[in-house]
Amino acid sequence: MRSTITRILAAATLSACVSSTATGAEFDLADWPQIEQAARGQTVYFNAWGGSESINAYIEWVGTELRRRYGVDVVHVKLDDTAHAVSKVVAEKATGKDQGGAVDLIWINGENFVSMKRQDLLLTPGWATQLPNWTYVDVENQSSILADFTEPTEGLESPWGGAKLVFFYDSARTDKEGLPDSARELLDWAKKNPGRFSYPAPPDFIGSSFLKQVLSELIDEPGKLAKRVDDETFARDVAPLFAYLDELHPVAWRSGRTFPKNYPDMKQKLADSELDIIFAFNPAEASAAIAAGELPDTVRSFTFSGGTLGNTHFVAIPYNANAKEGALLTANFLISAEAQLRKQDPQYWGDPTVLSLTKLPESARDAFMALDLGVATLRPNELGPVISEPHASWMDRIEGEWQRRYVESN
C-alpha cells in the first residue's frame, strides 16, 4: 500500500513541476518564500457553502489569520450550490478569460471536481502535494484523500476535512462487549436483539450510506466499486447486499415494514429507547446531541475495526484564478496543525482532521490528544480505516433496486 501511495505522489509531484513550466505559471511550487511574497496584498475569493453559522465563523477566522500572517485578504463568497462557482469558471473559459478569474478557491465536492478536472478547469496537477503542510496529511489511512468518489485527485485539490460513518449506542442499556464489529456481526446482533436496529429508507443519504457500507464489506470483488457499474454483472455483484437485507428486515425495527425517516428520526428513537444502535456520517454528532439535550450522556460511539465508509472534502484552485499565490497560502494554512485543530474542536466545527497524528510534532500531537471532542466522540486514532465511497453510478442503481424490491413489490 505504501509503495503504491509513494508512486502516486511521486507522479503528481513530477506533473506539478512539468506543468508549471509548460503553462508558464507565475509561481514556483518549490520556492515557497517567493509564493508568500507574491501573495502579499492579494484578495482570495473563497467560494464556499454559506449555510452554517459555525462554518462561516471558521472561514472568517481563517481570513483573519491569513491577513495577520501574510497580508492576504480572504473574502468568503457564500454559496448554496458549488455548481454556481463552477459555472463561473466554465463561462470565463468559454470567453477566453484565462487570467484574472473571479474564483480563486472553491470548497468542492466530488461531482464538481470530476467536472472541472475533465474540462481542464483546475490549477496545474500536483500543487496540493507540494504544499509544505502536505507532509502531515494522512494518505496512508484515509484513502479518500487520493481518490474523490473514485476519481484520482492527482494533487488537483487539497483536503481539509473528512466525514466517516460511526455507530452510536446507549451504554446504559447496551453492553459494550457485545457490540458488532462488522456488517455480518451487526446482522447477528440484530437477530439476537430483534426490533432494535434499522436504517433510513433510501434515497435518504444516511440510509444509502448504510447500503454502501454493507456492499463494500460483502461484494465478491471490492475493486469493482471503484468503477462504473457493469450492467451485465450488476445483479450478481449486489446479490450479497440484498441477501443481507432480506435477512435483516424481518428482525429490524417494525419488522422492516417501515423505516426511520432520516438521521434525526433515528436519533429520537435512540433517545426514546426504540432503537439500541444508530449511525451518522459525523463522528461528533452524538456529542453534539448530548450537549443539546437530545441524547442522554450515556451514549457512546464505535466503528468497525475493518473500516467504515468515509469521504474527504477538498478545496480546489481554478486554472485562471486571479490570486493563485494567495489561494495556495490559504490551502496550505487549512491543513496546518493549528487550523485542523480548531476545525476539529466541536465548539468551532467538530470536523475530523485529515492529518496523521503520528506525523505531527509532539506538541501538536499532544494538543490534538488533549482536545475535548465531547464525551461520545472517538479520537482520530480510534476511528479506524476509511472505506472509500463507491463510484457514484453504484448508488443510483442500488437505490433503484432497493425501491423495486422493498417498496414497489409490497
- pLDDT averaged over every residue in the chain: 91
Is the same domain home to 58 and 140? yes
Which residues form the domain of 248? Answer: 164-309+388-408
Which pLDDT score is estimated for 375? 93
Which element (helix H / strand E) includes 157? strand 157-164
**175-213 residue pLDDT tens:** 999 999 999 999 999 999 999 999 999 989 899 999 999
Is the same domain home to 373 and 392? no
Is the same domain home to 184 and 46? no
CATH number, position 305? 3.40.190.10
Is the same domain home to 367 and 223? no
Count CA atoms closer than 13 A to 325's CA, side-chain side.
20
Is the same domain home to 152 and 249? no
Q: In this structure, how many other beta carbons lie within 10 angstroms of the beta carbon of residue 172?
A: 11
- Detail the DSSP E strand segments found in 20-101: 43-49, 73-79
Cβ atoms of 144 and 311 within 8 Å: the answer is: yes
> With 60 as the cut, is the pLDDT of residue 386 above it?
yes
Is the same domain home to 359 and 399? no
Is the same domain home to 285 and 359? no
Radius of gyration of the chain (CA): 22
Name which of 247, 263, 236 is nearest 184 in CA terms.
247
The C-alpha cell at 380 is 482520530
Is the same domain home to 225 and 331? no
Q: Give dist(CA 170, CA 274) in Å, integer.
A: 11
Task: Find where cell 461528533 sits.
Answer: 284
- pLDDT band at residue 149 under the 50/70/90 scheme: confident
Q: In this structure, how many other beta carbons lie within 10 angstroms of the beta carbon of residue 352?
A: 27
Is the same domain home to 52 and 68? yes
Give the CA angle between residues 150, 152, 158 to the nearest 5°: 110
Give the type of residue at 87: S
**322-336 residue pLDDT tens:** 999 999 999 999 999
Beta bridge partners of 105: 46
**363-385 residue pLDDT tens:** 999 999 999 999 999 987 898 88
- Number of folded domains in the chain? 2
The C-alpha cell at 153 is 485527485
123, 172, 264, 270, 341 from 295: Cα distances, Å: 45, 12, 11, 8, 26
Strands 151-152, 147-148: pairing kind: antiparallel
Q: Give dist(CA 165, CA 301) in Å, integer.
A: 10
Is the same domain home to 186 and 279? yes
Which element (helix H / strand E) includes 158? strand 157-164
**71-124 residue pLDDT tens:** 999 999 999 889 899 999 999 999 999 999 999 999 998 878 988 999 999 998
Q: Give dist(CA 44, CA 47) in Å, integer.
A: 9
User: Could you tell me the pTM of the whole model?
Assistant: 0.75
Is the same domain home to 13 and 102? yes
Is the same domain home to 181 and 303? yes
The C-alpha cell at 133 is 503542510
> With 50 as the cut, is the pLDDT of residue 8 above it?
no
Q: Give dist(CA 194, CA 235) in Å, integer.
A: 29
